[in-house]
Structure 1
Amino acid sequence: MNIQNRNTDLRSESETARPLLIDPFARRIDYLRVSVTDRCDFRCVYCMSEDMAFLPKANVLSLEELDRLCSAFVARGVTKLRLTGGEPLVRRGIMTLVESLSRHLKSGALRELTLTTNGSQLTKYAAELKAHGVERINVSLDTLDADKFRAITRWGDFGKVMAGIDAAQAAGLHVKINAVALKGVNEDEIRPMVEWAHGRGMDITFIEVMPLGDVGEQRLDQYLPLSMVRARLAERLTLEDDAYRTGGPARYVRARETGGLIGFITPLTHNFCESCNRVRITCTGTLYMCLGQEDAADLRAPLRASESDEPLYEAIERAIARKPKGHDFVIDRRKQRPAVQRHMSVTGG
């Protein structure tokens, strides 16, 4: 049975309004990030080891199952849905899923359907994403130097990503750049990247490296506090706090000289957990209530156990009831192991 037929059969049950998801700290959970694959065509040094062992395809949820899972969360009040990976656009048939999920945009249940991508596949998919109701995407890009880009991504083609950004903007997608701040790697490019992004009408967000998974690198050697990044930017640009929010953890300033927004995601120097409205699902159907904690809930079993969504709703409710107040990320010389053993690509960026 294809996704569209399945949707028709289960729509009356899955899309009936249900009680909102509220965690133990009275935070409404209205933002779901879904990793559609753990696979990627890059091997970024802060995300994966070069010789990654990926999940067997049999362990990964089908597109139909991913649709049903996402729809269950939409029925419980999720209004923002982000597809992630790995690299989501390397998942075979991914546009079938995007097209199917777009029905929630048309109904008004979903306010935004978006994705985070490395940009490598955008020349192929940008126009189709726009046609299915995607208005905004995040492109992960940590440098404007082609040689440095190759060193960071190990396998990436800088020219292909630039062409992808061109294609996305030509299709009418609003592009935001996400850049991980890496000590001794791209810290000299922070201001040039801001000026480049703003010059093309794109906002940019800087992210502190997160202690997830063994990637064969010393985290402390990679770690560049964003307080330092902001201070350096303030030497040349007039930064004004801005109330703009996307529903995610970034806090924004506007550069008076360029008119563009600069976001900062600071899991280490400033814990953003007090307003967390997000949960994450892996491509195997594992629900993580917090990116920085190991506690998780298996949604694949109830998903496959019954044609009814009631067991799935019950599993989701039990999981949200134990969402923690915050994460335990820390990077220091005394704690050499990553705070969380799973790689970022498993949970989704």
Structure 2
Amino acid sequence: MSVHATLRRSRLSIRLRLTLLYGGLVLACGIALLTSVYFLMRYIPDYAEPKLLSPGDSHEALMPPSAVCPTHIAAPSDLIVSKDDFLTMLLRVYGVALIGLALVALLLGWIIAGRILAPVHRITQTARTVAGHTPDERIHLDGPHDEFTELADTIDTMLDRLQTSFQAQQRFAANASHELRTPLTTMRTMLQVAAAHPQDHDLAILAPKLLATNERSIATVESLLLLSRADHGMNDTEPVDLASVAERALEQVHNEATAGRVSLRGEVHPVHLRGDQDLLHHLLINLLYNAIRHNHSGGIARLTIVARDDTAVVTVTNTGELISAEDADRLFEPFYRAGTRTRANGHGLGLALVRAIAQSHHGTATATPNPDGGLTTTVILPATDP
């Protein structure tokens, strides 16, 4: 066990510290009160001098006749005949009361500290349960809105987000394994069949199939590497003319749009920002490919880039099949495909890359389904002066 852990174990519990704090405060207030009363009673009032006792007199001589009882005489230590006797008795009685008050304060402090810290124990127990591989457990602390309920609600929200993130990571790992295993399995099957029956296979036919399958695997791996790069943020940035990057992207996807009989339109205004030009190019390319490949013959894909309130707003709108709002948001998950997208050309990482690149540039990426079909994807990035 480390020295730090040993020191932590040797410290007093919070409950005991609160108890000592409450009791100490009561004790300190009592001592201050006793001291104040003592000095006030000693120096402020005027005390009449007591009758001097002769050698033959007793204490009863100073007492009123009604106070003298033949069957009971108070002990001389309890008899007050002078100012010093009064102050001594005051200290004695007040000291006994102060000790009793301190003990009661410690007991009440222990009980109150336990009640105050009960939510903390519940939070700790829930955290231990979650750490013990029960991620569905939540605190759900009841009671008035205070610091403890706010802390519990914050932890519940954090646990919800962590669970969502863990589930997304699990889906990502499973989907990535599937995407990489499928082409490799396909290539192995083709090679095994060709090796078993070489006379029935022509290399000129087999080679292009193996090459296409291999290129699909390479594209998936490159996309995963690009996604990892975007998720880890940018180390270096440079001024980027987004309009120029958009013009090159439109030119790059023009042939595929023509082959798919999709009308490609662009409305690009000058916008400048700081970022990674290569990543921003991939962002626009993936947006355009998504709009072209998930479209129908005779459809439209439109790219618009404008500057608005110190931001660069990139909007890509396309026609196509009807998409629900839930599916529109889930399209940003890696490998998620909705509707006919499962049969479209691609590996399900396009919009995931778009969102990751946008977030690495301190921006946002959202998608909204169009009423007549298709999708409108909007990326907002912080812009700079030229």
TM range (shorter): under 0.3
TM-score by length of 1: 0.23
Which is greater in Rg? 2
TM-score by length of 2: 0.22
More helix, by proportion:
2
Higher relative contact order (CA 8 A, sep 6+): 1
More strand, by proportion:
1
